[in-house]
Structure 1
């Protein structure tokens, strides 16, 4: 749209509050709110930035919705942004990448660090420092012997595992400890996470002093480091909020912007005690020009329209949106930008949390946590491709830190057979033997991802076991996008970053396999080469349509004519010759 088109459209609009949308074809480019629709839309005839000018140039029409009040316009704008995810708006995206600690709902609860807790579990966190969380969990296990094994391994044991020998578990699986005593230890762990630091700090202090008296200085130093981590665990941002008399719930927001990504960190205090931390990413086109105020205004509306508002919100700077201010005032929410004191320290902590990993979602860490792996930074994906058993090939792609590492891609010709399971077994066996025999110059991966379901995964694991290559493997079933492991299946939310990661690896392995299969298939000389009127391109079309020469031979002239570029005369010739 040009400036004149915008002015002409604006002239026909009412002077009432509402929401407007700039649209192109079936896409919403931008959503905005207005106290006066005519005046606000007319302002786009002279865009205030290059980004907005590009948006207006792309737009083909402007749609509006009139509302009764300015607050209704504010909330409708938030809902439309969430629904359409317009390219030119600052928009909130979920990012639950902070680790939490859960104690599972089990007769003998398991403790684990996770980013995807079970609904029935007792969950603590989230926390900002994963390394510190892991240190504390290990110290708790050494002190109280809470198990860390999966329910599958727990149920199948007839004698204690290595964790028992190492003093990390009291082995409730074989009743080396009775369940009542075990649950008392679990209660002590819960007390620690609820804020009773001495539950863990005191035993560590005594153990450190004993080690020092025995002149076991290396262990004493190790215990000292753990004690420091434990004592700092509840101190991170733990200063009480200086709340007003009638304020029980206070949220503290911090913002960091890098390029087109913004991170908003939120701290929650209730009754003067810091009880929650989380972080959210926002798409902020031309974020530096949008600035922190615009990001804050967008976050407050989009986040709190679906959640209960706190009594007060502490901000690093004013958001500058009059409609947002009016809405919060109407809801009785106090908004402050503290300059000093405890509240200012909390805002600074929120800012530090926002700056941590700004512009990047820890997909690899989330995947590792979800699958209970030490790491998932290096992933190798595998797929096989053939045409009814002919020209069978396998692909082996590599992703490092979530990005394709094409220099480490490999491919393999396989024995022609129409058996996906055996083809996968042969492909993994080839990779495993090269690794075990030192003939592969790539580092061992953290995880193997198999394109397929339980059958392909079982074939892959059989090959790994036969060769003796100890690398975890999972599969991604395409039909329902379920991640299959030896113990269970995961159905992660469609917007989960770690699901997107495994999908990228799977899709790339599939693409690479199909590409190689087509290359091999097209290199094969066939009797089609002797048929008049059939050149390389036509042969490729025929094999792509029917899969093999045998299928081409069995096709009728009418079927052959359905292939692009083949007329009735050529179809009859092919049918007669074959």
Structure 2
């Protein structure tokens, strides 16, 4: 019996087709060794090919030019531009915003997630709530930020398996009144569904297991400015409800940004939560009148 041979596949290693992008050399001399965001541009002026960030723009851009895996992007690139920031935090925030706004060809797509949800403990039972319906910035007892309902349920199921929680009491499956769940017989559930343990103990283990992914409420009454500095540059990041409204050179300029509606922003939360709460930066509470004062 003869075997049908598959058609030969041409597989090219990136290193085999890589050529140093000599056409980009004119843009390299002026690259700063400072933090910021950089752009690889193609023929289109409207949309960059790639947006990146670094604490040292020059070093990071040069590393792209030596990377064979990025040959396709480099061949299409025609020029390189950049925006300097006062530090790494500003670079992170600006990069996230620009990628979301401009959707560069060679960046992972970042889109506003209308299915963003979290787990909320209500009367001892977890419920899935959505950011489009609940203000995550000011709602207590939220745990986890999930791309969709399925991801939230998977996290809840994993927690139940790790802590012998009852699928039925968590709403993951139905329970028959007065009967233990199937997992209880397998000793995978500690038996809160049938009286082997108290519902209160079950709820305590649930909350303890969720603590690591608790969502922190916005801890200020209004917007704040986070001061980020390097020897030759200072920026004030204007933030409200975990949303980065932008950066200004002086608090005199903050009033215009404060007019922007500030709803919960998942990317802002992930980037800003630690810097805002650890005490490593100067934080200045703001109101619109205060923002107009010179600092």
- Superposition TM-score, scaled by structure 1 size: 0.24
Higher normalized helix content (fraction of residues): 1
> In terms of Rg, which structure is larger?
1
Q: Which protein has greater RCO, CA pairs closer than 8 Å, 6+ apart?
A: 2
- Superposition TM-score, scaled by structure 2 size: 0.42
